[in-house]
């Protein structure tokens, strides 16, 4: 298959990227990596990857370049900047950006790639870092059918769920909509459970009722019982990151003239949580931030603290 | 069993109450009913129930009196008012109120019953009118263990799910928390899907993604595909009623000094929907109200309009 | 003049009412008062007022009965209740309610008075307790022209500004609109000055700029420099009372299907301030509640603490 | 005086800039201008100004360079970009940016200027375009004392009110705080007057009451009677621009971890107004957008439409 012969470049070996790149290498794809931190680079070399001293060098060595970067600024700089990836990638190449960025940035990347005859795929990542480590990430992919077919083996090496959402730009947009719901649910559940606590209701019985009606939701059912309700607020996804995503969402919605009153007010709740020192806790800990405001003790399951 | 020997009174044969009372009668409980509307009374008589000309007369004829009334005002008047149920019920009797009321009203009822040695149960109803017709309602019950045991056969005649949430008052409070989540989810989903629509995303693909993450929720998964997304906005639960419940919730939360910013702002979204003529549509039609504000066409599944 | 011959009754000698009644007596109007607290009654007797043992007794002794009560519940009970003011007032009498109540309550009073041929005036009070002491209150009056002419000398005894807003009910409604603006301005200014503080701006210079543009407002210019910005948070008007007024306003607006997103969200800010212990401080201390959330020190003028 | 000998450069002759530059020229300051639009350049030449073909050329010809540009992107590009103003301005020069930008951009400009020994002043403009035409603008100035003294004659040529708020960066921040208040007041007043209208109150009488209490504010007292309440919604300051400013403010506040719930929700009200076609109307027309949502006719003074 042509895909397996593609030489792959991977730029950005952060907390998520290192696991993702490792899983590509484990499937024997030829891989060249780059990051400014030497540790993750060495770890990938130990798995048989080559390393390159710059994004440009990765691009020169690769047919398909994957980027997993902190945000829009880095993405624009490394891909579109002078001497960047687009200036160095081979004809017939593909750029696949998996960073979480705003739709404007994704559209600018797609347009710049199209103008040079380079394929472009936006494939932001769902789920958490430990999913990435295990090759169990979820991808929301915006790509032409041809580009999607080409990167599919890579996505399947890194993840267990791959959604082809439509053409370029739809991956980023679908992720924003998805994260909007998942993040705001934390504030919604926080309000509901702080009220239940102030009402003196039993947590287990309340959850039993909620899960039997249309009030139930993925955060309350799947994430919370293992995190804040179990007394674990170590970040699977930190409030600071959730706030950053909400900011992208509100900005994109305002650009699209879609009023999002609940999102806007929830973002301020996250801002307030950050100001009060909750920024580095798991986003389910919005429960603790809300209970702090309401003057009630945060509820916990069973013997959890 | 002692329960089956209790004579049952039922006051309030509205859209929900008539089905509930019918199911009690179908289980052969001795039943006396009252309503100001003659039609539902005649229908119950046809099932073998007796009728009485007033709430007081029902109370005199019954051991256990059930009330299913429009709101706090009617509940207080009929139960606590001069010449009302409490003035006429037998010693050893039980009052079970199934209306949706605020916690203050429920607490006042519980206290007045306790002061006279009458049992009190608050058992607000979940699910929709057609569930009540089929005996498939859900009940959130606040009662002492003894009172709960006594009314349990009645609840099981009317519903398929019965939660004993704790002592008197916990049924009403659990319902408020549950409805808070279920109702606000409508605004949350409305914002998410209006944004997806403005982004040009495909509805089916977007839902497929959302249902595979913690973004999913009972409204989006269970209610919406059969209602607004199928083009059916006939009210299973009307926006006007959702607004009324939200008003109770916000009032109760403010009384408890629990700030609920998302609930408060969502209530205004429901208020705005009512002002624009959406009050008598299903609460999933908050999607249409939101899309109207955002200037996009409300999305529908498949060929639905 | 006919007005001076009217015998006046005054019910409710709370913090505001005692000053108001005293000023009526100082203008030599024949006055009968009632309150459950003996102290203020004795003080009025010392000014030459008679006292009566009940609201009914006041009504029997008076041509014009003034009420200044805590809220809708007391107003409805004392005026409309069995054996209350309406049951005892003379033909040709007038009831003037100066309590802060919701429009529904005012409309119910007006209708009940009209049905019995009794005049009705709603005249809620503006400004603070110390204005009432000095006869410098502001009144927003809803009354027919004839009733207004009859109570005008009383209003002028109690206040220095009297607005005849329209027919019965317009006084209460104008007060809600006025208090909406005055109260929400406190949250608005709190947000602005907390941001200025986080920005490291000089308070005096910032105020100088704001007062020279359309950003200025009565709270920031008149109330705040003497209260929170001077380090004085003793309540002229407490956050708890502001929260109560906001609750009336939001309820009335929802009943009128007028969405008030800013009012709704500000009410939750007041709720949060109450939960965190600011309820008994002046409503300008919303600045301190907001700065507490933002993690900045509340700004003060000059050497104020 | 040394100031009058400075050669002045002015870049950005838009709706505001052309008036401002004209007033500098009218005071006989030696002036070189640049804009991409030929019309305004010709108009300035007619007043005796020189023109230059690029920002770089203006910088080379000037001691003090003034910029009045659409937003952060243009400001960063023209001042900090390769071959831009900073690369070409003389030693001992000063850059004064009068554009409305975010604090991060201003701080980046100040730091870059400081690193090269160039003075930096941020002096965003208050009031409207017709004030700029008449030399009656208001300036909020962030500058060292020395730089402020140097640019003061220029500011006094362009405006009638000049506030020296503190060091570099304080001008931009003060403007954000000021515009926050002025803009949100429009939504606040819109909610109040839509409620008054739904209540059936008389507009003139309501305003008379409000202006006599702490509810009054600069928008309601100064701007609105000449704009929306007079039936004139031609933009002195358009809703689209107000939305843009609010977005800057909310972004800056979130960066500073200052939660601004009222600002956030008001921004969505502006977003909703834009989606419904009000973007190009005066920001006082938030009244019309709000009345549209509430289903009431927007109130007008006297015979205005």
d(CA D243, CA D227): 18
* A195 in reach of chain C (CB within 8 A): no
Say which of C27, C175, C227, C244 is annotated catalytic.
Answer: C175
In sequence order, which residues have a C-beta less than 8 Å from that of residue A202 and are 6 or more positions away?
B165, B166, B170
C296, D166: Cβ pair inside 8 Å?
no
Q: Of D265, D276, D295, which is closest to B275 when you measure between CB atoms?
A: D295
Instruction: Determine the distance in angstroms separating the CA of B286 from the nearest CA of chain A, rounded to an integer.
Output: 13
Residue B1 has pLDDT above 70, yes or no: no
State the DSSP string of B42-55: HHHHHTT-EE-SSH
A264, D268: Cβ pair inside 8 Å?
yes
Residue B2 has pLDDT above 50, yes or no: no
pLDDT band at B11 (very low <50, low <70, confident <90, very high): very high
**Scanning the structure block, which residue is given the tokens 């687009």?**
A86
Asked if residue C13 lies in contact with residue C37, where contact means CB atoms within 8 angstroms, the answer is yes
Please give the average pLDDT of every successive group of 10 residues along chain D, which has 305 residues: 74 95 96 96 97 96 96 92 93 96 96 96 92 96 98 98 98 97 97 97 97 96 96 95 95 95 96 97 98 96 78
d(CA D3, CA D40): 25
Q: Which of D134, D101, D179 is closest to C213 using CA atoms?
A: D179
* C275 in reach of chain A (CB within 8 A): yes
Residue B3 has pLDDT above 60, yes or no: no
* A262 in reach of chain C (CB within 8 A): no
> Which residues of B are tagged catalytic?
175
Asked if residue A145 lies in contact with residue A123, where contact means CB atoms within 8 angstroms, the answer is no
A201, B260: Cβ pair inside 8 Å?
no
* C195 in reach of chain A (CB within 8 A): no
Q: Which of residues 82-101 of C touch D (CB under 8 A)?
A: none
> Which residues of A are tagged catalytic?
175
> pLDDT tens, C98-107?
999 999 999 9
In sequence order, which residues have a C-beta less than 8 Å from that of residue B300 and are 6 or more positions away?
B203, B229, B230, B231
d(CA B238, CA A106): 40
Instruction: Determine the distance in angstroms separating the CA of C174 from the nearest CA of chain D, rounded to an integer.
Output: 7
Q: Is residue B279 classed as helix, strand or coil in its secondary structure?
A: coil
* D275 in reach of chain B (CB within 8 A): yes
Q: Which two tokens stand for residue D197?
A: 């209208």
* B272 in reach of chain C (CB within 8 A): yes
A vs C, Cβ pairs < 8 A, gives: 16
Q: Which of A114, A142, A216 is closest to B182 using CA atoms?
A: A216
Q: At what angle do helices B239-255 and C261-275 cross, to 10 degrees?
A: 30
Residue B281 has pLDDT above 80, yes or no: yes
Residue B276: its chain D contacts at CB < 8 A? 293, 295
pLDDT of residue B5: 79
Mean pLDDT (whole number) for C210-223: 95
Where would I find the beta strands (DSSP E) of B82-219?
94-97, 119-122, 125-126, 137-142, 159-166
Instruction: Determine the distance in angstroms separating the CA of A259 from the nearest CA of chain D, rounded to an integer.
Output: 5
pLDDT band at B305 (very low <50, low <70, confident <90, very high): low
Q: Which two tokens stand for residue D232?
A: 């004139």
Q: Which residue of A has its CA nearest to B160?
A: A212
Pairing label, strands A8-11, A64-67: parallel
d(CA C151, CA C141): 10
pLDDT band at C200 (very low <50, low <70, confident <90, very high): very high
> pLDDT tens, B216-255?
999 999 999 999 999 999 998 999 999 999 999 999 999 9
A181, B192: Cβ pair inside 8 Å?
yes
Backbone angles phi, psi at C189, to 5 degrees: -65, -35
Q: Of A261, A265, A275, which is closest to C294 when you measure between CB atoms?
A: A275
d(CA C293, CA C193): 13
Pairing label, strands C64-67, B159-166: unpaired
C214, D215: Cβ pair inside 8 Å?
no
Q: Which residue of D has its CA nearest to C224?
A: D214
Burial classification of residue A142, based on how many CB atoms lie within 10 Å of its CB (0-12 exposed, 13-18 middle, 19 or more buried): buried
pLDDT of residue A79: 95
Q: Of D261, D264, D274, which is closest to A257 when you measure between CB atoms?
A: D274
Mean pLDDT (whole number) for A173-180: 97
Instruction: Determine the distance in angstroms separating the CA of B294 from the nearest CA of chain D, rounded to an integer.
Output: 6
Q: Of B257, B267, B274, which is closest to C264 when you measure between CB atoms?
A: B267
Q: Of A247, A254, A271, which is closest to D271 when you measure between CB atoms?
A: A254
d(CA B216, CA A178): 9
Q: Which of A233, A222, A246 is closest to A283 using CA atoms?
A: A233
d(CA A110, CA A118): 9
Instruction: Determine the distance in angstroms separating the CA of B177 from the nearest CA of chain A, rounded to an integer.
Output: 6
D254, A261: Cβ pair inside 8 Å?
no
Measured at the CA of A276, the angle between CA A272 and CA A280, to 5 degrees, comes to 95
Mean pLDDT of chain C: 95
DSSP B295: T
* C187 in reach of chain D (CB within 8 A): yes
pLDDT of residue A1: 40
pLDDT band at A127 (very low <50, low <70, confident <90, very high): confident
* Percent over 90 (pLDDT), chain A: 92
Q: Which two tokens stand for residue C10?
A: 């005054």
Q: Of C261, C275, C293, which is closest to A272 when you measure between CB atoms?
A: C293
B264, C269: Cβ pair inside 8 Å?
no
Q: Is residue D184 classed as helix, strand or coil in its secondary structure?
A: helix
Residue A45 has pLDDT above 90, yes or no: yes
A262, B262: Cβ pair inside 8 Å?
yes
SS (H, E, C) C76-92: HHHHHCCCCHHHHCCCC
How far from chain centre, in Å, is Cα C13? 14
Q: Which two tokens stand for residue D74?
A: 């243009």
Residue A257: its chain D contacts at CB < 8 A? 271, 274-275
Q: Which residue of B103, B104, B107, B177 is the best one to mutate when testing the A interface, meaning the one whose CB has the most A CBs within 10 A?
A: B177
Q: Is residue C44 classed as helix, strand or coil in its secondary structure?
A: helix
Asked if residue A63 lies in contact with residue A92, where contact means CB atoms within 8 angstroms, the answer is yes
Instruction: Determine the distance in angstroms separating the CA of C155 from the nearest CA of chain D, rounded to an integer.
Output: 16
DSSP D282: B
* C145 in reach of chain D (CB within 8 A): no
Chains with 3+ CB–CB pairs under 8 A to C are A, B, D
> pLDDT tens, A201-240?
999 999 999 999 999 999 999 999 999 999 999 998 999 9
d(CA A3, CA A115): 23
Q: D70 vs A128, B79, D99, D164, CA distance in Å? A: 40, 67, 7, 23
pTM listed for this prediction: 0.93
Backbone angles phi, psi at B73, to 5 degrees: -60, -50
C286's torsion region: left (phi>0), alpha (psi -120 to 50) or beta?
Answer: alpha
Measured at the CA of A49, the angle between CA A46 and CA A53, to 5 degrees, comes to 105
Chains with 3+ CB–CB pairs under 8 A to B are A, C, D
Q: Which of residues 222-261 of C touch B (CB under 8 A)?
A: 243, 247, 250-251, 253-254, 257-261
Burial D121-148 (b: 16+ CB within 10 A, else e): bbbbbbbbbebbbebbbbbbbbbbeebb
Pairing label, strands B125-126, D125-126: unpaired
> pLDDT tens, C55-90?
999 999 999 999 999 988 899 999 998 889 999 999
Q: Which of residues 279-298 of D touch C (CB under 8 A)?
A: 293-296
Please compute Rg for chain A using Cα positions.
21
pLDDT of residue D305: 65
Q: Please compute, for residue B247, the number of CA atoms within 13 A of its CA located in the half-sphere on the CB side.
A: 23
Asked if residue D191 lies in contact with residue D289, where contact means CB atoms within 8 angstroms, the answer is no
Q: Of B253, B265, B271, which is closest to C257 when you measure between CB atoms?
A: B271
In sequence order, which residues have a C-beta less than 8 Å from that of residue D100 and are 6 or more positions away?
D71, D124, D125, D172, D175, D179, D245, D248
**Scanning the structure block, which residue is given the tokens 């309540």?**
C235
Q: What ipTM goes with this model?
A: 0.93
Q: Which residue of B258, B271, B292, B297 is the best one to mutate when testing the A interface, meaning the one whose CB has the most A CBs within 10 A?
A: B258
pLDDT band at C2 (very low <50, low <70, confident <90, very high): very low
Q: Which two tokens stand for residue D207?
A: 């305003």
B vs D, Cβ pairs < 8 A, gives: 16
> Which residues of D are tagged catalytic?
175
Mean pLDDT (whole number) for B265-279: 96
Mean pLDDT of chain B: 95
pLDDT of residue A305: 65
How far from chain centre, in Å, is Cα A179? 9
d(CA D47, CA D153): 19
Q: Of B247, B260, B268, which is closest to C260 when you measure between CB atoms?
A: B268
Q: C11 vs C74, C96, C110, C158, CA distance in Å? A: 11, 11, 18, 15
Q: Is pLDDT larger for residue B146 or for residue D1?
A: B146
Instruction: Determine the distance in angstroms separating the CA of B277 from the nearest CA of chain C, rounded to an integer.
Output: 10
C-alpha torsion sign, points A189, A191, A194, A198: negative
Q: Is residue A80 classed as helix, strand or coil in its secondary structure?
A: helix
Asked if residue B265 lies in contact with residue A262, where contact means CB atoms within 8 angstroms, the answer is yes
């Amino acid at each position: 298959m042509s895909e397996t012969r593609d030489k792959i470049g991977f730029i950005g070996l952060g907390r998520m990227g290192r696991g993702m790149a490792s899983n590509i290498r484990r499937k024997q794809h030829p891989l060249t990596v780059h990051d400014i931190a030497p540790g993750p680079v060495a770890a990938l070399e130990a798995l048989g990857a080559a390393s390159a001293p710059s994004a440009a060098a990765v691009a020169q060595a690769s047919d398909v370049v994957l980027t997993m970067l902190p945000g829009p600024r880095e993405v624009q700089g490394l891909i579109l900047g002078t001497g960047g990836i687009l200036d160095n990638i081979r004809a017939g190449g593909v750029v696949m950006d998996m960073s979480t960025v705003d739709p404007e940035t994704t559209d600018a990347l797609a347009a710049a790639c199209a103008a040079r005859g380079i394929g472009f795929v936006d494939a932001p990542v769902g789920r958490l870092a430990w999913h990435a480590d295990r090759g169990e990430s979820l991808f929301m992919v915006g790509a032409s059918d041809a580009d999607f077919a080409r990167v599919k083996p890579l996505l399947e090496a890194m993840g267990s769920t791959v959604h082809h959402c439509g053409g370029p730009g739809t991956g980023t947009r679908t992720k924003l909509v998805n994260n909007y719901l998942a993040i705001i649910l934390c504030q919604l559940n926080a309000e509901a459970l702080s009220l239940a606590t102030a009402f003196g209701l039993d947590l287990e019985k309340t959850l039993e009722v909620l899960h039997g009606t249309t009030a139930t939701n993925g955060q309350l059912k799947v994430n919370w019982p293992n995190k804040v309700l179990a007394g674990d607020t170590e970040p699977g996804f930190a409030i600071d990151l959730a706030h950053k995503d909400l900011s992208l969402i509100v900005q994109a919605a305002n650009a699209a003239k879609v009023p999002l009153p609940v999102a806007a007010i929830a973002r301020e709740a996250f801002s307030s949580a950050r100001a009060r020192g909750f920024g580095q806790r798991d986003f389910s800990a919005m429960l603790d931030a809300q209970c702090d405001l309401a003057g009630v003790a945060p509820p916990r399951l069973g013997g959890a603290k």
